[in-house]
Amino acid sequence: MSSLPLSDLEQNQDFIRRHIGPTAPETAQMLEHLNVSSLDELINQTVPEDIRLHAPLAIDESLSEQAALAKIRKIAQLNKVNRSYIGMGYHNTHVPNVILRNVFENPGWYTAYTPYQPEIAQGRLEALLNFQQMTLDLTGLELASASLLDEATAAAEAMALAKRVSKNRKSNLYFVANDVHPQTVDVVHERADFFGFEIVRGDAAELEQHNCFGALLQYPGTSGEITDLAPIIAAAQAKKSIVAVSADILALVLLKSPGALGADVVLGSAQRFGVPMGYGGPHAAFFATRDAYKRSLPGRIIGVSKDRRGNNALRMALQTREQHIRREKANSNICTAQVLLANMASFYAVFHGPTGLKTIANRVHRLTKILALGLKQHAIKLRHEHYFDTLCVELNNSDEVNQRALALGMNLRTDFDGALGVSLDETTTIGDVCELLAVFVGPDNEIDAQELDLLATEQVAIPSQLERDTPILEHEVFNRYSSETDVLRYIKRLESKDLALNHSMISLGSCTMKLNATAEMIPVSWPEFGSMHPFCPSDQAQGYKQLIDQLEDWLVEVTGYDSICMQPNSGAQGEYAGLLAIQKYHASRGDHHRNICLIPSSAHGTNPASAQMAGLKVVVTACDEHGNVDMVDLRNKAEELADSLSCIMITYPSTHGVYEETIREICDLVHEHGGQVYMDGANMNAQVGLTSPGFIGSDVSHLNLHKTFAIPHGGGGPGMGPIGVKSHLAPFVAGHSVISNGKQSASNPAVSAAPYGSASILPISWMYLAMLGREGAKNASEYAILNANYLAKRLSGHFPILYTGKNGRVAHECIIDMRPLKEATGITEMDVAKRLNDYGFHAPTMSFPVAGTLMVEPTESESKREIDRFIDAMISIRQEIAKVESGEWTLEDNPLVFAPHVLDDLTDANWEHSYSRELAVFPSDAVRSNKFWPTVSRIDDVFGDRNLFCACLPMEAYE
């Protein structure tokens, strides 16, 4: 048996034992239940022989937590943290410590999933609603979404929205102003190319000369200038253009909102509201638009609805816009999207309130004025008269000044012709400003800060017509929690409403909710990782370089590919990036016409959505009755479409939870017809150490580091979706125009704002692989398969398991078919999902990939005891359904259809159900000792969509 003798662990394998749920005796019992004598035997029965890897992974031996932390500490110390004045959408910020410890570092917040089960997610839904309210106040628009991946991709989404809603239907032209951040321009350009739009550049004032469907402006501009956009916007709108404005969130505290200036869309990064720069991410982008465009809004919208008892309850609204329903017609491919960081930013606004934010913004602005005045006194010219926190300093010795700054540990922005950029932020002090002045004017010049400050008060740097004249954050939630005690309790109150991994197993199929070990999280808080600007000189980021290089090497080994591109910041972004690489590869061979993407019907909704964004035409291929790709249908379509075949997107093992035996044949078939194979890597947890996409014959995959490689889901993000590619695709992966990473061709456009996406969470995956090592990484896959098969076998006596592979085995997840019971009794998969809440569990994935089913993925990290508790709950629920079947309970009145039950049910004077209150809320003994109370009862989705309300409710509503 290749599995570890768990009773006989060496010290350095300690982490493996902590990561993997079942103990040695439990493992033995589970194997016995499955009628196999060893884990090897189970794996042999499950994974097809012709794709098995037999050599061990060439990654290091497992390290203990202590050794791994010591090693990554050394790597971190290779990063040199300068004071950053670079700006460009990334600023220093003070993360309020109460948020740092109680949100950022708190598994109650970071291990939750996307709030698809809103009854047990009201806490983060409320925090996200606060984020939307904050966005509305600051942007001056009518409707905001919860969060997007970064500013640059949000700008690209704004362009797509403009195309959908613009009345200038004939135009294919999109205008991007000259003073937009270069990384934003890069990402928008790339997106436009594949949508078939043309980009035109120019000064914002030139916008009206163009006949375009939309435009992107920036406020303040990338070089710091504030201009009145109102006449520019009005002129463009008169010509039926949709105008998007990318804005700085802190500047908006003092400036008239872009909405008030007429903008149709306002977007930007919420990073400087208390989220570390982290060498580029993760951060949340905000996005707001007019109410009229609500059906075109990308990403998630949190809305207010009612629960069964008539109470207000929050949920994700208008989901019919999204990829899991609209597939290739979706507004965007956004799935995982920075929820944790949006929540941090919204708590930052709660923590500071409107007065605190104004104080911060005013201080930053005043310091900038002092700096400006000091420079002017020394006859140094500023490019712009009007600014908020960023100066563009004209110099004829900019190199010399920059060298002086670097020598003193300061980073300035250097990509202006003959000028240097300086951006101040909430961490800047008057001492910093004096040091900066000394850098510019030379050390021998006298600086009198007091005098400068006096003079600065008379300076006008924000034109009076652009001063904000409307209040912000008037809602009570932003004005109520002033003391730290109150903020702490507010955070805790919301946390308590949410079920996360620190309460019980979250068996969401395809989501891989495994252990996010504390040791893996610890380095993320270190300033050597958190305080790095993504565009700092690369000699300062040697720690990151070493970390990323090593992680890439490991991932190359794990995937069987030749190289990794670390830029995409979600799985769906990885899909997009991978498809672009395929299209560019085809184009490089003269195959510009290849535009068909085959996608099996079982695919995740992001696949067709991403294909559409890459300019591909989706052709769906059928699955047979065993859930496998229908080879006849695939062969016919591949042959018929061979001339224009671009690729297939296939998930392996499939989302049906089995290892398709024909996977090699599928790869060969597509290759024969000139196509490429994109293997969706979301299910890598069933491959690591056992097989690999590269070995199987695929050309490119994304990895969800937030699934397989232990980055927590954060309640719906962050994530990382790096892609692995075979060497022939390597020249076509994303590069970056601002900072070259030395590997990827710098001339390739970017898909994300930052060169390494959400770099600051890469230490988590590094720690994961360092501590598991070659043996543990493989064990993780083996135990994921063991746990899933054990669960499937035990449940199969009670519910049909929809698909199994040869030998009756499932992969690392399985689908429970609820349709026969629904037919027989009327009880739905939704009722079962909600009833599981009463038993203290999060529901499995509902109705994906097959409507009317539940997909369960226990992962390797759950112990037999926890899995048994889940199975027992499911069996008990089955018995409850039997009572509906037998007529003991009617379909109208039973504990399933009224689930989940809440405290109000217990205390309701009029309990009129045919089952007891006790059965309602304590359906098992296990629940009594560890009850999780859903805070609202079943939510009415239809009501919420019909009466769309996406801002904070008046405070009484919460009481």
Ligand X SMILES: *Cc1c(COP(=O)(O)O)cnc(C)c1O
Q: Which residues bind ligand X (CB under 6 A)?
A: 335-336, 510, 570-572, 604, 606, 651, 655, 680, 682, 704, 719, 721
CB of 578 to ligand X, least distance (A): 11
Question: Token pair of 603, please?
Answer: 């695919």
* 22 vs 509, beta carbon nearer ligand X: 509
Q: Which residues are within 8 A (CB) of 511 and not within 5 positions of it... i.e. 6 or more apart? A: 113, 707, 713, 845, 857
Residue closer to ligand X, measured from CB, 221 or 299: 299
Residue nearest to ligand X (CB): 571
CB 716 → ligand X: shortest distance, Å?
Answer: 9
Kind and range of the H or E run holding 306 = strand 301-306
Q: Least distance to ligand X from the beta carbon of 509, Å?
A: 8
Helix axes 606-613, 182-195, angle to 10 degrees: 90
Cβ of residue 45: shortest distance to ligand X, in angstroms? 24
Q: The tokens of 553 are what?
A: 């090497």
d(CA 22, CA 785): 12
Spatial CA neighbour of 829 closest among 816, 842, 838? 816
Residue 369 or 707 having the CB closest to ligand X: 707
Question: Which residue, 411 or 510, has its beta carbon nearer to ligand X?
Answer: 510
We find the least distance from the C-beta atom of residue 761 to ligand X, in angstroms, to be 13
Q: Which lies closer to ligand X via its Cβ, residue 271 or residue 338? A: 338
d(CA 545, CA 276): 19
Q: Count of alpha carbons within 13 Å of 184, Cβ hemisphere only? A: 33
Shortest separation between residue 598's beta carbon and ligand X, angstroms: 16
Nearer to ligand X, 166 or 683 (CB): 683
C-beta of 84 vs 651, nearer to ligand X: 651
Dist CA 448 CA 766 (whole Å): 48
Taking the least distance from each CB to ligand X, the nearer of 390 and 570 is 570
Give the residue with the Cβ less far from ligand X, 528 or 813: 813
3-state secondary structure of 228: coil
Measuring CA to CA, which residue among 827, 913, 924, 937 is closest to residue 875? 924
User: What's the closest the beta carbon of residue 713 comes to ligand X, in angstroms?
Assistant: 9
User: Closest CB to ligand X among 571 and 689?
Assistant: 571
CA-CA-CA-CA torsion sign (645, 646, 651, 656): negative
Size of the chain in residues: 959
CB of residue 334 vs ligand X: minimum separation in angstroms?
7
Smallest distance from the beta carbon of 278 to ligand X, in angstroms? 18
Looking at beta carbons only, is 680 or 880 nearer to ligand X? 680
Q: In this structure, is the dihedral angle defined by the CA atoms of residues 177, 180, 185 and 191, taken in order, positive or negative?
A: negative
Note whether 660 and 654 are within 8 A (CB).
Answer: yes
Q: How far is the CB of 335 from ligand X (least distance, A)?
A: 3
Q: Beta strand 596-600 with 645-651: parallel, antiparallel or unpaired?
A: parallel
Q: How far from chain centre, in Å, is Cα 702?
A: 14
Round to whole Å and give the CA distance between 599 and 610. 11
Residue 590 CB partners (closer than 8 Å, separation 6+): none
**Burial group, residue 100, by CB count within 10 angstroms (0-12, 13-18, 19+):** middle
The DSSP code sequence of 39-66 is: HHHHHHHHS-GGG---SPPSSPPP--HH
CB of 572 to ligand X, least distance (A): 3
